[in-house]
Amino acid sequence: MALVTSKKMFETAYKGGFAVGAFNVNNMEQLQAIVEACQAEQAPLILQISRGARKYANIAYLKALIDTAVKQSGNLPIVMHLDHGDTFETCKQCVDDGFTSVMIDASHDPFEKNVEVTSKVVEYAHKHGVVVEAEIGQLGGIEEDVVGVTGDDVMKHVTDPAEAERFVKATKCDSLAVACGTSHGAYKFKTEPKLAFNVLEEVAKRLPGFPLVMHGSSSVPKEFTDLINKYGGNMPNSMGVPEEALTRASKMAVCKINIDTDLRLASTAAIRKVFAEKPAEFDPRNYLGPARDAMREMVRHKLHVLGCAGKASVCV
């Protein structure tokens, strides 16, 4: 199957009460782990490429890897998505490069400027059959070049449902990332967060049937931070979004949930374990292989948390 847009995925997810997992890709092992997990669980898939990934791996290499994965994945519906595009030019280039979905993140700009930039991206992308995700409100934490508000201020910058309604109607974007108390990175919160589900509910009332997106949604599982620390790491006080909160959101209007940090943790824990137990190891295949295995199992687990396992066939 060729790459698809997220339109049918989100329509099906909204009606079915589940969310599609969106996983960031930086290299071959990570891509293999994600795609193999979705094949095993027959889940629809969104592969995300960030600015950092394009800088690290070169989009030509990533596109070639994704093209290969698509050819080998049978009838699995796969979206190639730009994560946190920061300018019209970046989004335009990704549309021209064959992405089937792009995100324009002008959430740091004043409302009217965000509308202006997003509308320009929507106009260009829609002419080329590409869907657009936008963002309103501000998350906390740090992810690559995306710097949010401080952890203590996250709940002060949640999305205003009335503004979200105005924004979607003005821009004609296809999905909207909303700030509901989540945060980027591994060091999200000092205590277990309480997400603003009332914001999700109110936006859904104002925009019935419209797909919402949750960023900063990795759960930072303690088992992996413990392994990293056991084998020489230093990750104290790391805490993420509880998985039960992700499941609850996926049964509401949230149709796409982004997962990145959890894969990094699984990979790093596996590599550190190999280095600690086999200090003479120098063959990358012998530590990147276990890292790939750990990420694959992490993704398989997340697909059940989000409720999209077994949903591939109804998303095409």
Catalytic residues: 83
What is the per-residue pLDDT for 185? 56
Q: How far is CA 230 from the centre of its chain?
A: 28
Q: What is the pLDDT of residues 201-252, one digit of tens each?
A: 999 999 999 999 999 888 999 999 999 999 999 988 777 889 999 999 999 9
Residue with token string 């004609």: 172
Angle between helices 111-127 and 161-171 (to 10 degrees): 40
Q: What is the pLDDT of residues 43-82, one digit of tens each?
A: 999 999 999 999 999 999 999 999 999 999 999 999 999 9
Task: Read off the pLDDT of each residue in 180-185 and give the average, rounded to a whole number.
Answer: 69
pLDDT at 297 over 90: yes
Mean pLDDT of the chain: 91
Q: Return the CATH architecture of domain 7-315.
A: Alpha-Beta Barrel (3.20)
Domain ranges of the chain: 7-315
Q: What is the pLDDT of residues 104-133, one digit of tens each?
A: 999 989 999 999 999 999 999 999 999 999
Q: What is the pLDDT of residues 263-289, one digit of tens each?
A: 999 999 999 999 999 999 999 999 999
Nearest Cα neighbor of 286 from 298, 274, 269 is 274
Task: Read off the pLDDT of each residue in 7-11 and give the average, rounded to a whole number.
Answer: 98
Cα–Cα distance measured from residue 168 to residue 212, given in angstroms and rounded to the nearest whole number: 11
pTM over 0.75: yes
In DSSP notation, 10-57 reads HHHHHHHT--EEEEE--SHHHHHHHHHHHHHHT--EEEEE-HHHHHHH
Task: Read off the pLDDT of each residue in 194-202 and give the average, rounded to a whole number.
Answer: 90
Contacts for 242 with CB less than 8 Å, ≥ 6 apart:
192, 193, 219
251 touches 18 (CB < 8 A):
yes
